[in-house]
Structures are given as C-alpha cells and as structure tokens.
Chains A and B, each alone.
Chain A
C-alpha cells in the first residue's frame, strides 16, 4: 500500500466579492497506482458475477447463450489468486459456482467454473434483492477487502417489493461495489441506476446480447486494475458553513452529497470506492459566512483517506480557500474548471428533464430540454453525449440547440441516452 501515489489538485477562483459566501472548487484526484513493477498487487480481491437466469432470458434463445459466453469471458479475465463466485439469479438466488463460499482463481478453477456456467438455464422470476444478499454473504466468507460484483439482468424486479430491494441495497452499500448491466430493453434504467449508484458502480445498456462478451471482459479487466479499496473524501468545513453539494463530475456525474457520514468535528466522509491508476474530478460547493474584505478563510479542506485495519491513512490533501476582495477583476474571474463542470452537470440534467418530459407526453418541453442538451454537448465537446442525443433528436443547429424529436425513437437508443447521460468530458488542456 505504501507504494501508492495519490495527488489532489484544487481548481477554483478563491476571490469573492464582499458579502458573498458561495465557494466552488473542482478537486482533481489522481492515483498514479502502484509504483512496484509487474502486475498490480491486489491483496485480497474478490469478484462475484451475478447472472440473471429468469425465464425471460430464453427470449430470444440466444440471450442466455450470450450471457453464458460473457460470463465465461469475465471468468477468464479474473487473475490468478483472486477469490470468485458465480450467482444464478431468479426469484431466488442460487450459487452456481463454487458449491459454497468463494474459490481462488487458477486455470483449473476457472475451467470448472465455466463448465458450471454452461449448465445455467433460464427459469423462474426476478428478485434482485435476493441476488445481492447472497453476494454479500459470499463476500463475507472471505477476508478480501477489494469486493466487486457484476450484475446482469434483462428484466424488472417483479418478484419482490421495492422495499425489499431497497433494504438489500442498503445492506450491501459500502461493503462491495457493483457494476450493473441491462440486456435488451425490458429492464428499468432507474431500478439498475439505484443499485449502481448506491454501490458505487456503473450502469449501462447492452442492447444486443452479442455485445455482452466484450463488455463483461472490459468490466472485469477494469476491476482487476483496482488496487485500493474503501477510499473516502473527507471534507472539513468551517463552523457555520453548509455544504451545498459534493459530486463526482468526471468520468461521470455522481452526487455524493447525501452519502456523507460524520468523521470528525466539522468533517464528513464521502465514499469514492476502489481506485486503480486513474483520475477523477469532484465538485464541492460550500456556503461560508462572508468575511471582511482582505480576509482569507479556509472554506474546505479536502483529504483523501484510506481506511486500513491499522486506522485511517491520509493519501493527499487540498485546500479550498476564500479571499474577499473589492477588486472586481479578481472576484468576477471565472474558473474554467468550475464553469466546465457546471455545464456538464446542466447537460446531464437537461437530458434527464427531457426524457422525463417525453415520458409525461410533453414533446414540446422534451424538444426544448434535449435541444439545450445538444447545445451544451456541442459547446463542451462532449461528442459521446452528442452522438447519443442525435439518435433521439434530429439536430438542425447544434450551436443554438435547435432540434426536432425524431418521429420514431428506438427504445434502446432512449435507454442508452438515459444510462450514459451522466458521462462527462474533462476540461480541454
């Protein structure tokens, strides 16, 4: 763990006009990863693949076949020494491999696991909460700290109540991370997003089962690159300050505001999950009591904390400052990092508002919101989101956001826009 290099950078305009109290800053956290040569040392990584085996997975027949192949590919991507298991999900949860607990991956166990996956067949209903509970129980049998699951489903959570699912999510929150994938178009974006958000994972649509193998392989490879589990952002704020929000803003928007747990006097922890060699941006917005002109105040101290068995370890720290000035040249200066991510957040919100309006049958409002989104995506160079938008609206002028809703919108395109709308681009160099 000692070979890990984390850096924190703060981007902000620290100058505020007299009487102002809102302080905004972008916090860039970069992990250089392990500096030790060879493959990353992952002391205690565990992986569970949860495969939907409900009856609907047989329609079309190729869906279950593709799901098996994808699971096999994911198993192949598990490194030697990693503990793993496969869960078959229906209206109940069943352990498909191994017979109980977790198995340590090697050539032989991977082969046996793939053979077990070959025997998965679709039958019964869908109770995702049950699947998550079993995954947690299996993780608990091991000592591993880097716990990650992949969840695949094709349908809605019909065989348990919303409350049961919520309780199961709550049980798993902070214990393992989970990437969710919906195959086809019969599943609910909001349902899977609730799980992936709470469990600090990603959510995405795989419209064609043929795409599953590549996707599973990529997810598992990304997970294998994680080296540190349970890293939190600790945010200290001055007395009488209020935190408006703390959000991850890159690579995708995740609002962490409500995820705060008290850590120390005037400080709270926000979960960030596991880290490999990567860089993420966070946006913190704090209201402080305005100070006198010329006064400098620390508006927030942002620390990156790794919780280890021997206690918390500070990996890095950044200061968000406020300095009151009468000089307008200083206080009106726009920080381009803050402005950029304010734009990306507005873009994601405009898409959600547009999709909501369309569901409510208000096509005019939908076109207006999605048009605004097109303009924002165009302006910020978010080509990925621009492409997704173009599958839902006909773009007449991207710079002004003049669009027309497509006469026929493919369901999968709308779901793809929905799941991927939180993806952001970083500030141009």
Chain B
C-alpha cells in the first residue's frame, strides 16, 4: 500500500509521507492494492468472539480460519478485485494488483492479474512479484505521460525481470501468466502473456461483450494453424497448456498488447483461467456482472467468483473489474479479507 514515509522503495531517495510519487525516479507511492496476503484473523468469523489458535483453527468450532492469500478482496474507486483459492487447490497461486493514477489527460485506473504456473517452483511468489512490480511501473509511466501500449510493455518486461530474479539456481524457476489493463480517459489498453484474459463488458448490451485477449495456449496455436475448434486436441485438457509465460525459462518475453476506444460505459474484466475454465461466453460473463456493475463492483466480482466456485472451483480464481470511464462508481476504497 505505497510507502507512508521514509525512502522510495525503487531508488532509496527520501520521500515525504504525503507524496504521491517519488520526485527522483517517478515511482508510484500512491494507493496501490496488492493481494499480498491478509493478516491472520484474531477471531473466528463463524463463532466470534472465540479465538484462533496458533495453528490457525478456531478454538471452538475447529474451522480453519481464512488466512494469507486464500481469499482476498481489494477495492479502489472504480476498481474491485477478488482472488480465491477455489475448492480444489491447497493454496492460492494467483495474484492481483490495482492502482489509480493521474495521467496528463486525466485519471486512469490500472490492474494486473497473474496466475502462477502450478508446475513451476514457487508459482505463488512469481505471480505476486510480477503483479506488484508491474502495477508500480504502469502508474509511474502513465503519470509521466507515456502512452498506454508503451507503458504496458515496459510493465510486462519489468514483471518478467522480477520473476526471473526469484529463480536463483533453481532447475524449475518460478513462472507466471500475466494480464494488465489500463482504463484511461480515452482508451483501454490490455497487455498479456499466457492465458489470463481480459474481456470488455459494455453496459449497453451483454450480446456485444467480447474477449480482448488471445491465449498463449496449445489450443490457440492449433486453432491458428487451422485445426478445427471441435477437434480433440483443442477441446482436451492438454489444449489448455500455456505456451508462453514470464520467468527465467521463458526466453525473451514478447507481450501482446491491444488498444481500443470504448464506445460507451462498461467494465473491463481481467481474470485468471479459474473463471473461464468452464467456458462461459463473453455474454454470459457480462450477464453475471450486470446489473450490479458499475454501482456495486465488489458485488459484481463476488457474483463472478460464485459462478466459478459453482462450476467446481477447480483452480484458483481471480476477477478484477475496472469501471469505464475510470472512477465511474460511488464506491470508496476498501481492503478486506473475509471468509467465503
């Protein structure tokens, strides 16, 4: 959550507690919300005021208290995100980061969603490092007036370096997927590597909702090569394998970017594959998000999470909704971690 006072985390120059960014390097010091984990709860949410034991269970009902990254909800003005362990995985390897910033042309909202590659070493650290690093680069670049696509590419490359620096001598270096979204006054910019996605969900009609990204997956590559979509190779779980990611074993990262100017108000959705695994259409997702968005973005995000859990919750699930135009909501800042 920024640096209240002291030194800039980027260049170590002394900064004032009231500064929004570092005067020396431009590093964003303002409000950024990162799903770094919640402090363990002091009391059981089911049977307050009973205590939580040192091993993390309620001393009365025995239920495991939600802790760490199991379930985190984040919110800033016009952005809401939720990340959840799901029902099958033993930990949450997804991460998200949200921030608000000012560009020379006005307010901008940014978010990053990363899904740690579960077969790599420490995927949870990879996703968090990438999201945390990227959101700070995005806000700093945008504040300096850098164009959305260029800022996005810089942020993705910085995220890649952050993940690479975790590798050490590991034979199985940490890896993560990546998707970022910038909602600026005029345009929306999306950047991705891997199979985390972005959708445009217009307020006007769910039918015109659409997927903005194209997965770096075996299925997509086969489809691009002309294999019919209904073929086994594409429909099978094997088709789901990601072909590109961030990390020391990924080669030179080549992030994809796309930019478009929304015709009217709506919501930009960023998500990990935990949401789209059960193959909902863009229109289905829009219908789930509306009518609660944009007035109740946290409620809309919770609705999408509930849908994914209802579909089996096989993977970690992360959902971030950004109002278009930026800040288009009445909700204030919040940061909470609650049980399901």
Contacts and interface: CB of A to CB of B under 8 A. Distances in A.
A266 B60 contact: yes
Interface residues of A, number: 20
Given A237-B62, A325-B87, A297 B57 contact: yes
B63 interface: yes
Interface string B291-333: 0000000000000000001001100000000000000000000
A294 B340 contact: yes
A297 B62 contact: yes
A296 B64 contact: yes
A264 to B, nearest CB: 10
Contacts of A326: 87, 312
B87 A238 contact: no
Contacts of A298: 55, 57, 62-64
A2 interface: no
B61 interface: yes
A136 to B, nearest CB: 38
Contact of A294 (B55, B58, B313): B313
Contacts of B312: 326
B62 A293 contact: no
A22 to B, nearest CB: 15
B55 A297 contact: no
Contacts of A412: none
A297 B64 contact: yes
Interface in A177-219: none
B12 interface: no
Contacts of A241: 62
A5 B123 CA distance: 36
B259 interface: no
Residue with the highest number of chain B CB atoms closer than 10 Å, among A237, A239, A326: A239
B88 interface: yes
B63 A296 contact: yes
By CB atoms of chain A within 10 A, which of B53, B55, B62, B63 has the most?
A: B62
Contact of A299 (B58, B60, B62, B309): B62
A301 B64 CA distance: 13
A297 B87 contact: no
A238 B61 contact: yes
A357 B237 CA distance: 58
Contact of B55 (A266, A291, A299, A319): A319
A397 interface: no
A295 B64 contact: yes
A288 B86 CA distance: 23
Contacts of B55: 298, 301, 319
B62 A295 contact: no
Nearest to A238: B62
B87 A293 contact: yes
Contact of B61 (A239, A294, A327): A239
Contacts of B313: 294
**Residue from the set A266, A288, A294 with the largest chain B CB neighbour count within 10 Å:** A294
Contacts of A301: 53, 55, 57
A349 to B, nearest CB: 30
Given A293-B87, A294-B87, A327-B88, A239 B57 contact: no
B60 A239 contact: yes
A340 B49 CA distance: 41
Contacts of B59: 266
A325 B89 CA distance: 11
A297 B60 CA distance: 11
Given A294-B86, A298-B57, 12 more contacts: A238-B62, A238-B63, A239-B60, A240-B61, A293-B87, A294-B313, A296-B64, A297-B57, A297-B64, A301-B53, A301-B55, A325-B87
5 contacts: A239-B61, A294-B86, A295-B63, A295-B64, A297-B64
